[in-house]
Structure 1
Amino acid sequence: MTDTSTRDDDSAGRIAALEEHVAHQARTIEELSDQLAEQWKVVEQMRAKLNQLAERFLILEENSLEAPPITRPPHY
């Protein structure tokens, strides 16, 4: 009888350890998911800002004066 109760205690301990391990993994996965969602928001904000800056650059480029033609200096 002692052999069976020892095995049951050992199995119960192993199951408890596995449950604890799974709980830690679940918490870690949740934390990583939250961090990923937060980083995705930052990426989207940066993408929007980049698009705004690119549009602004194109507008400035269109409105800029033409570059003066390259000519020889008068002393040549």
Structure 2
Amino acid sequence: MEHRLVELEVRLNLAEELVEALNLTVYRQQQQIDLLQQQLRHLYRQMQEAPPALEKRSADEEIPPHY
């Protein structure tokens, strides 16, 4: 009986360590997601504020693909 109790305590301790490591991973991933969303919003605002694109060039003005 004593052996089984010790084994359960060891498993519980390992499970708690795993949950703690997973929580830290999720926390770090959320920080990365938040940063990426902030950068995306910034880029979107820059695109919205940018002057309109130039009209497409006519076929005569097109630069050949090898340039």
TM-score range, shorter chain: 0.7 to 0.9
Aligned CA RMSD, in angstroms, stands at 1.6
Task: Provide structure 2 residue ranges, at least 5 long, that are not aligned to the other structure.
Answer: 61-67
Amino acid at match of 2:38: A
Structure 1 outlier segments of 4+, above 3 Å? none
Decide which of 26, 40, 53 is 1:36's aligned counterpart. 26
Question: Where does residue 53 of structure 1 map in the other structure?
Answer: 43
**Structure with a larger share of its residues in helix:** 1
User: Counterpart of 1:67 in 2: which secondary structure?
Assistant: coil
Decide which of 14, 17, 31 is 1:24's aligned counterpart. 14
Q: Aligned residues, how many?
A: 58
User: What TM-score does the superposition give when structure 1 sets the normalisation length?
Assistant: 0.68
Amino acid at match of 1:38: R
User: Highest Rg: 1 or 2?
Assistant: 1
Amino acid at match of 1:58: Q
Decide which of 55, 59, 65 is 1:67's aligned counterpart. 55
User: Counterpart of 2:42 in 1: which secondary structure?
Assistant: helix
For 1:38 and 1:31, how far apart are their aligned partners in 2? 11
Task: Provide structure 1 residue ranges, at least 5 long, that are not aligned to the other structure.
Answer: 1-10
